[in-house]
Amino acid sequence: MRPISAMCFRCCDDRARVLMRFALAGLTALLMTALPVRAASLDIVEVTSETGVTAWLVEDQTDPTVALSFAFVGGSNQEPAGKEGMADLLVSLLDEGAGDLDSEAFQQRLYETGAQLSFRATGNRITGELNMLADEIEEPLELLSLALSAPRFDEQPVERMRSVLLSQIRAESNDPDEQGQRALATALYGDHPLGRQPTLDSLQAVSREDLEGFHRRTFARSNLFIGVVGAIDPETLRSVLDEVFAELPAEADLKEVPPPDLNFGEEVTQVYDRPQSSISLVYPGVAATNDDIYAASVVAEVIGGGGLVSRLFTEVRERRGLAYGAGAFLDSDVDWGRLVVYTSTSANQTGEALGAVREVVQTMAEEGPTAEELESAKRYLIGSYAVGNLSSTTNIARTLVSLQRLGRGRDYLERRDALFNAVTLEDARDMASRLLSVEPTMLIVGPEVEETADQDG
């Protein structure tokens, strides 16, 4: 939905140092991927420091790495109107100088540690990750502490990273799919912060004082969630938490942002002369903290998930040959959600493909899944979780943060299978009717076309 700023990777004049940097980073990445903590052995411990900073820890002394993931509630939804892009610019600058270290000195010290440090801004949070070797954590943690509590926002890095983001916006202005998604966000969310997108003017309007104020209001201990995985014990982690996070303000100063009131029944067309069309249909969803999330997830999986029961894939692509791909996903946050159905097709088949998609959705709304589809979807959702969320130390650390943010509880992984297995056929059919009987907001990117007569099934 929003342009996501990536870390700026720079060359160094000293070739030997460059090779060393990437060799160390590559080793760390390999270890992070190749030595996951086994899901069956997860023992989540809550650790609280002397200053009250809390983290969830999965200790694994057989893993030679440590992954630290964190999230501050409050992302681009905290930007003032007219200064969209501020959060993206801020996160791009956190490793561009902090404390007594200017940008070059900070980057020099970071790559010499072999650690990987990254930040990201999303609609409602700012996240970060530090991956490091377990026997060399002191310096990476010092750098992380400086980046979080004392970023410099020096003029040269600010203008350099602003230029990178401006170039990204210019490039996206020539991308029909990106422009279509921007138009879809405006149609869906209206005046809500999620509906406002960065522009050249809004990014240019962000000053250093704006960045400092945004940082001061958002980076605090009260809105912070932390997950740690790897070869570190609770006592050591207690000290680490204070070393890294204790200098942050105790309380964040966030403006209250209500969940978006999605606009349905809108039609958005991004006309572009090309040989294929992309179609998105957005329906109501379910908040991730709502008990109905499990039934809604089953419905989304049956319609177009990654398992073997996807009706869209079977009907639209396999049987009718109308699409390059077709699927659906449930996009859920703490207090709201949406269900997105999508497909891509040859431009001269756009109307027919759209009609076929609508037919599949309408049948699901009226009849719901079969008993066989229900059980297959539940098996997939239960079995695939570990692959996507527990397959590496980094993924586990992210999952620990997500579970805290959603209020799941440390026993959630033990309870999760039962929560899905408790979804009945009646639950799934009621949920399908509830979500899919609404006229969706639709986006078509491609040549102008009219729907076929069978669009209503």
3-class secondary structure per residue, 66-119: EEEEEEEECCHHHCCCCCCCHHHHHHHHCCCCECCECHHHHHHHHHHHCCEEEE
Among 134, 32, 40, 46, smallest CA distance to 403 is for: 46
Task: Count Cα neighbours of 319 within 13 Å in the Cβ-side half-sphere.
Answer: 11
Could you say which DSSP state residue 440 is in?
P
Residue 253 lies in a domain: no
Identify the pLDDT of residue 173: 94
Residue 255 lies in a domain: no
Residues 294, 222 share a domain:
no
List, for residues 339-361, the tens digit of each pLDDT value.
Answer: 999 999 999 999 999 999 999 99
List, for residues 70-91, the tens digit of each pLDDT value.
Answer: 999 999 999 999 999 999 999 9
Task: Count Cα neighbours of 419 within 13 Å in the Cβ-side half-sphere.
Answer: 18
Distance CA 87, CA 134 (A): 31
Among 130, 17, 120, 128, smallest CA distance to 65 is for: 130
Answer whether 0.85 is exceeded by the pTM: yes
Residue 347 lies in a domain: yes
Distance CA 46, CA 405 (A): 14
Joined together, the tokens standing for residue 29 give 């990445």
Distance CA 440, CA 266 (A): 7
Distance CA 175, CA 152 (A): 34
Strand duo 116-121 + 276-284: pairing:
unpaired
Residues 308, 213 share a domain:
no
pLDDT tier at 324 (50, 70, 90 boundaries)?
confident
User: Side chain identity at 328, as an amino acid letter?
Assistant: A
Identify the pLDDT of residue 449: 66
Residues 60, 114 share a domain:
yes
Residue 254 lies in a domain: no
Residue 34 or 231, more confident: 231
Residues 284, 224 share a domain:
no
Residues 181, 73 share a domain:
yes
Residue 260 lies in a domain: no
Among 299, 305, 306, smallest CA distance to 283 is for: 299
Among 133, 151, 162, 145, smallest CA distance to 64 is for: 133
List, for residues 131-175, the tens digit of each pLDDT value.
Answer: 999 999 999 999 999 999 999 999 999 999 999 999 999 999 999
Distance CA 298, CA 300 (A): 5
Strand duo 276-284 + 441-446: pairing:
antiparallel
List, for residues 242-258, the tens digit of each pLDDT value.
Answer: 999 999 999 999 999 99
Residue positions counted in the chain: 457
Q: What is the three-class DSSP state of 129?
A: strand
- Distances in Å between the Cα of 10 and the Cα atoms of 87, 107, 318 are 22, 9, 45
pLDDT tier at 35 (50, 70, 90 boundaries)?
very low
List, for residues 188-232, the tens digit of each pLDDT value.
Answer: 999 999 999 999 999 999 999 999 999 999 999 999 999 999 999
Kindly provide the residue ranges of all beta strands, DSSP E only, lying in 167-250, ordered along the sequence: 224-230
- The conformational region for residue 426 under phi > 0 = left, psi -120 to 50 = alpha, else beta, is alpha
* Domain span at 208: 15-245
Joined together, the tokens standing for residue 219 give 């980076």
- Distances in Å between the Cα of 93 and the Cα atoms of 90, 105, 202, 280 are 5, 14, 18, 34
Sign of CA dihedral 51, 52, 56, 58: positive
Residues 395, 353 share a domain:
yes
Residues facing residue 59 across a β-bridge: 230
Residues 221, 138 share a domain:
yes
Residues 333, 214 share a domain:
no
Residues 390, 340 share a domain:
yes
CATH code of 333's domain: 3.30.830.10
pLDDT tier at 296 (50, 70, 90 boundaries)?
very high
Domain-ending residue, one of 176, 210, 245:
245
Q: What percent of the chain has pLDDT over 70?
A: 89
Residue 252 lies in a domain: no
**pLDDT value at 259 more than 60:** yes
Q: What is the three-class DSSP state of 209?
A: helix
Residue 277 lies in a domain: yes
- The percent helix, strand, coil of the chain (3-state, each to 5) is 50, 20, 35
Count of structural domains within the chain: 2
Residues 343, 376 share a domain:
yes
Strand duo 54-59 + 224-230: pairing:
parallel
Residues 241, 271 share a domain:
no
Residues 277, 173 share a domain:
no
Distance CA 176, CA 280 (A): 14
Residue 7 lies in a domain: no
